[in-house]
Structure 1
Amino acid sequence: MAMFFGMNIKTREEREKEYKEYTLKIFPYGEQQRDRVRLLLSTMLPKEDPVSLLMYYIQLKEKLIDHPELTVFDAEDSLQSMRFLLRSLEMRAVVYAILEADQSIGESLSYPSSQQLRSAADIYIKQLRPLR
């Protein structure tokens, strides 16, 4: 890392290394896991922007990884910058259901079916309250 006019400038290699470490933190099974999550999100919430959904998912998952004592509800409350994305209880519940499935996923990446995830989301909907 070089200092230039008082700013730390990272080399390309340092940036790439950090990106790989972060990606493995969120998706330990690699690109296949990320693509599978992206597909589940877009399949279950087809009217939503897939990039925004994935961003929200990643930020929520990172918060849960960094703070395992938090519930998904507490983690969401702390994501002030993402509140504009939270348009519906259904969207939040579906993301929660996929996150829950992702926590126990193995190398096989055998996620529950959309129908099973929808049932899990329905349980979350009963627990959700509108955001303040």
Structure 2
Amino acid sequence: MTSKKKSHPSVQQFKEFVKKHPKLVQEVRKGNKDWQEVFEDWYLLGENDVVWKQYRDGEQEQEDDKKDSKADFMSQMLSAVKKMDMNTVNHHITNMSSTISTIQGLFDQFGSSKGTNQQATSNSQNPFTFRKD
């Protein structure tokens, strides 16, 4: 009977870490490092240390950079919202609303006078007029 031995949870976590850092495997295969040394460094430093960045896959780095940039953007937006004076924002929204209402009024005024002129000219030049015999 052969039974599969379950690894220690830290060993499983280390395996996942190595999968995320494929260049680390290449370093061990070249003989620059050994697995015991890598495991000890990982255990002491943690997987988020700057040392491991050089061993990441290029795609993983890009994904991490995107996550970091999204987090930075959200923190900047949150700080900007916190700094806003709501009375000033309300004042600007009210001014914008009145400006839009004025522009809509102008369009209605010029659009209705232009529309009546078009109807008068279109009735006289209707290409589908039928004559009675």
Structure number with the higher strand fraction is: 1
TM-score, normalising length from structure 2? 0.22
TM-score, normalising length from structure 1? 0.22
Larger Rg: 2
